[in-house]
Amino acid sequence: MDQDQLDARIARIGRIPFRAKFHLRPVEREYLASRGLPVIRQHARDFVDARLAPALPEKDGKQTPWGGHPVFRAQHATATCCRRTCLQINHGIPKGHELTPREREYVVDVITRWIELESGSGSSPGR
């Protein structure tokens, strides 16, 4: 998926009222500023591998905290927070199988791009 398609998907999901309320808070912005986007992207990979990639994630639907880390906020904002419904409904990734390397990379791309856009470090037409 190219960046324009990714941005369009993020914008579409961002129009869902529940998703639209999520933004980086000061603590998450500070965390991002102190570590940089490459480190945050690696954190996203680690979280996806541990919490979303298994076919049957532990505590699915409740495995993603509401905040405290930019990735967690991004996951709720982009509907990449659980396998139970969010990934399936919003991204077409069915539950019940281990995420493929391509699916994992896609989810990390969505999370990272939202953080870029939210923090003002990424530009997108129409946003």
pTM: 0.93
As to burial, measured by CB atoms within 10 angstroms (0-12 exposed, 13-18 middle, 19+ buried), residue 29 is: middle
C-alpha to C-alpha distance for 127 and 114, rounded to whole angstroms: 11
Domain boundaries, the chain: 3-119
The pLDDT tens digits of the residues spanning 37-55 come to 999 999 999 999 999 999 9
**Cα 45 to Cα 2, 4, 32, 71, 79, distances in angstroms:** 19, 22, 15, 10, 16
pLDDT at 69: 97
List all residues 6 or more positions away from 87 whose beta carbon is below 8 Å from its beta carbon: 52, 79, 80, 93, 95, 107
Task: Dump pLDDT digits (tens) for 71-112.
Answer: 999 999 999 999 989 999 999 999 999 999 999 999 999 999
